[in-house]
């Protein structure tokens, strides 16, 4: 994600992203949001829904197997509430229908022999060139 969009998330949801200042020995969030810009709105909506859960922290936000993956934890080490877990799972599920490059409607595309990605038709065509 571009630094500008990433910073927008950090500024809007400082409690959720408080682990980003820690070292790589303590968190994967130190590498920031590891996905393309097209998922910014999806991640923003997920964060807005997660914000009311006091003590919830995002430990990693990335793309894995072509879909959004979000790892969470609680600052006090307690169990992540089921409602928060459901919000994250919903965002991860929705990510396969959103092109991570542009944010448009995405569909499953096979790139190369083994690589699966979810892209809109335009972005998929651009990547094939």
The pLDDT, as a whole number, for residue 127 is 67
DSSP-derived 3-state class of residue 38: helix
Is there a contact between 39 and 95 (Cβ–Cβ < 8 Å)? yes
Q: Model pTM greater than 0.85?
A: yes
Q: What is the pLDDT of residues 70-96, one digit of tens each?
A: 999 999 999 999 999 999 999 999 999
Q: What tokens were used for 123?
A: 């972005």
Q: Mean pLDDT, the chain, as a whole number?
A: 93
Is there a contact between 10 and 17 (Cβ–Cβ < 8 Å)? yes
- Which pairing describes strands 33-34 and 56-64: parallel, antiparallel, or unpaired? parallel
Alpha helices in the chain (DSSP H): 3-12, 40-50, 82-95, 121-128
Q: State mean pLDDT over 106-125.
A: 83
Q: Which residue has the tokens 């690589």?
A: 115
Domain residue ranges of the chain, discontinuous segments joined by +: 3-104
């Amino acid at each position: 994600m571009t630094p500008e969009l990433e910073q927008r998330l950090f500024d809007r949801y400082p409690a959720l992203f408080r682990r980003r200042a820690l070292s790589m020995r303590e968190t994967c969030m130190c590498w920031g949001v590891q996905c393309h810009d097209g998922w910014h709105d999806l991640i923003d909506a997920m964060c807005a829904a997660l914000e009311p859960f006091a003590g919830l922290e995002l430990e990693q936000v990335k793309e894995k197997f072509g879909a959004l993956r979000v790892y969470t934890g609680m600052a006090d080490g307690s169990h992540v509430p089921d409602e928060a877990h459901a919000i994250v799972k919903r965002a991860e599920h929705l990510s396969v229908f959103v092109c991570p490059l542009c944010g448009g409607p995405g569909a499953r595309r096979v790139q190369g022999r083994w690589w699966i990605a979810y892209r809109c038709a335009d972005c998929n065509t651009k990547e094939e060139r």
